[in-house]
Chains A and B, each alone.
Chain A
């Protein structure tokens, strides 16, 4: 047994990281700096908006997506966060979650579409997605730190890696689940591949895609605490501080704020997803 030498996986990865750092380190750092500044400016602007305006915007969205019950729940929940004096970290976390989710969707949905239409790409992509979802996040948090230095950018990077797979998988699944005869309708009437995608496949797959986006939202939120360890700030930072100083009550306050945000985002997106759903889709 000992005659077979150990596979030098660790060394290989180290070398790759070192190579990337020496070649792209500078560029990545400046990108990171610019991106961080962008996020911080956005946060400052949002904090200048009166808190009740933001609550009303959320309440309006909730009302449109699901009705007045969710709207009232949203007002109560968000006011409670404000009341706990967690408004600033709440806005920080909200921005991070939204940016991560948007990045995940912007890359994830097109990747999912390609995977849904190409069996080969689907086969290659599946193990990569498994890798992304199961690899312990600390393992790539450290290289992210090396590349982007501490702050919000590595947090977004880690969150995207963790949260993007459902967007890809659900889009892929949704496209594959479009009934064969509907695809045939598109083809039989002479659609171009683009028309087929936008007039048949995507609209029919939309409820499934929305479920994936909802998952992506939830997963990015669940990364906020871990991301706080590398300087993401926000509610996660509060939780982290409370844990390290054994302030149980304070930790609970921050925790509750995360839960409230999670529930509001989840219900909001469920509502949007459901509005695309018809009886026909439920039968699939």
Chain B
């Protein structure tokens, strides 16, 4: 997973004739503004370095003019870098000769454009086969492949339509299909969804994510929309004024913004979209196991002043919840083992699911929500109060301490029995 496929080092792009002057000035540490004033040259991007791992979605995020499109176009040399190296799959592509570059573009990368960039004189199918046609693949073979990808992006039956007959979302599906048909390892997406209206944009984002699960491409995605970056990105690179400000996972970016610029961005974000259940959960305290009887349950509830308690088996897998009422009833019926009574079941959520999706359930449920991992082991609980607190804390100036605690891996929780189960009895 973490095998590097793209490695960019010291990437500089200067626009204008005689870029050497600007390079020397940059080496002396002069600012972009000074260089523009002295030499009339524009420094598009300055000293960018990052790596992209195989199979990840790497988002380059920045406002217009930040140089993000320039970075992307350097990766397939639509824009010729002024200095720096770009190693893709072991080859420094800045050194490629014209013919090798064409081959590289044909085989390694495929691009999706902001304004779709479909050829107006070609049908959907003819647009989709474009990359393979350039490679000289036979008509039969390329059309077979194209029909498959068109089906994949949900455009079956639209093969013979012209771009002017399609809606924006459909056009970009064709753009995506055209890129996918090429079967290149690396997908370069230049603000691919920015021209779509919000609903369609979300739909396309979801679709890209599900496609990515099937295909596992390496995607470099350019956007100016932080929500999009956080939703899609495995890692995000922040660009400002042609310089790299921060590279990190969505978590790192939102919890530890590198500087005020990033922090300002992050503040405006809809927090519930990035906070996962794991972020806002509390330690599951206390717990009882199936071996215990209703008496133990009642004693623990009394001890902690709560009205219900989670029941797990020996592997910590969630079995259910027992309430005070049920425990009393069981004790009066003479039952001594929790195996013999029917446990209540509250809502349950996987730890990596965004809290947003769980908000409604949490609001309506009387029982606390259980947070489980892949193996159904109970790793935390969510109560109404903790979600609200987490959302509130980030929407104001970010309280790092609080979040770190919320994000701490819930190991060794059993050892701290009795420390904070009080909130779970809402």
Contacts and interface: CB of A to CB of B under 8 A. Distances in A.
A281 B134 contact: no
Interface stretch (A43-51, A119-127, A167-175, A181-189): A181-189
Interface residues of B, number: 32
A199 interface: yes
B323 interface: no
Interface string B389-418: 000000000000000000000000000000
A86 interface: no
B359 interface: no
A261 interface: no
A67 interface: no
Interface stretch (B21-29, B98-106, B345-353): B98-106
B121 interface: yes
A280 B119 CA distance: 9
Interface stretch (A106-114, A200-208, A213-221, A233-241): A200-208
A184 B409 CA distance: 47
B78 A181 contact: no
B144 to A, nearest CB: 18
B182 interface: yes
A190 B101 CA distance: 8
Given A200-B119, A203-B119, A279 B111 contact: no
B106 A203 contact: no
A206 B115 contact: no
A203 B73 CA distance: 25
A191 B78 CA distance: 12
Contacts of A189: 105-106, 110-111, 130-131, 134, 182
A280 B163 contact: yes
Contact of A276 (B78, B105, B121): B121
Interface SS of chain A: helix
B164 A278 contact: yes
Contact of A204 (B121, B131, B133): B121
Contacts of A195: 134
Interface string B231-269: 000000000000000000000000000000000000000
Given A182-B119, A204-B119, A190 B164 contact: no
Given A184-B78, A280-B120, 19 more contacts: A181-B114, A182-B117, A182-B119, A184-B113, A185-B111, A187-B105, A188-B76, A189-B106, A189-B130, A190-B104, A190-B106, A190-B131, A191-B102, A199-B130, A203-B119, A204-B120, A278-B120, A278-B162, A281-B120
Interface of B: 73, 76, 78, 101-107, 109-111, 113-115, 117-122, 130-131, 133-135, 162-164, 182, 188
